[in-house]
Structure 1
Amino acid sequence: MSLHDDLRAAQRCLDELGRTVARLEGQVGGGPDIRRVRSDTDHLRESLALLRESVPDALPVKPREDVIVIPDAPYDATLWADAEDEGLGTRHGKAP
């Protein structure tokens, strides 16, 4: 998962937390405990917004040097001349 995916996932979780806290507030009333939870939720939302602003939009992607690209095109059959395919017999269909 990329950094931006993780930030979006955290935002979705905070949105759900905010909705849940609002439902709880409706059920238990507006006591000091629920106000503290709502305040903490708001602080988390603000902190995540600051974090999202500090993350660059486009992180540079460094190409991997250990990856070797192999083309999908078939290989030239003359590279093997009369070599046998291992375990499949010869090119002429006569197995040893």
Structure 2
Amino acid sequence: MSVQDELTSVQRCLDDLYRSVGRLEQQIGGGGPDMRRVRADITHLRESVALLRETTAGTSSPKRPELVTIPDTPYDDSLWTDTDDEGLGARDRRAP
């Protein structure tokens, strides 16, 4: 399944959950903090799925990073001359 198909499936499940909670709320009453919390959680999940849908709408397939070829040949030794040892300071100086 594609990402969009999976998101559609999740959205359907959340819609079913929303309807089921509505029926449950009618049966037990919806004035309590527990029921309000469940409603708020479902609302947050629905918003999160909507954001995911927007984010993934433009990407049909994940982009692979560009590969960088590293040569097997050794580096030029002149790159390492006349440099400071990192963290140690210059060769002809002392630490304070």
What TM-score, normalized to structure 1? 0.59
Query: Secondary structure of 2:57's match?
Result: coil
Instruction: Report 1:1-96 matches (<5 A).
Output: 1-30=1-30, 31-57=32-58, 59-60=60-61
TM-score, structure 2 length as denominator?
A: 0.59
Shift of the 60–33 alpha-carbon distance from structure 1 to 2, 3 Å rule, reads closer
Q: Which amino acid aligns with 2:55?
A: S
Give CA deviations for 1:36-61 in whole Å, capped at 9, x if unaligned: 00110000000100110000345159
For residues 36 and 60 of structure 2, the distance between their equivalents in structure 1, rounded to whole angstroms, comes to 38
Decide whether aligned partners of structure 1 residues 60 and 45 sit closer, same or farther in structure 2, where only a CA change above 3 A counts. closer
Q: CA RMSD in A?
A: 1.9
Moved over 3 A (4+): none
Task: In structure 2, list runs of 5 or more residues that go unmatched.
Answer: 63-96
Instruction: Quickly say closer, same or farther: Cα 1:21–1:3, change in 2 above 3 A.
Output: same
Percent same amino acid at aligned positions?
Answer: 59
Equivalenced residue count is: 62
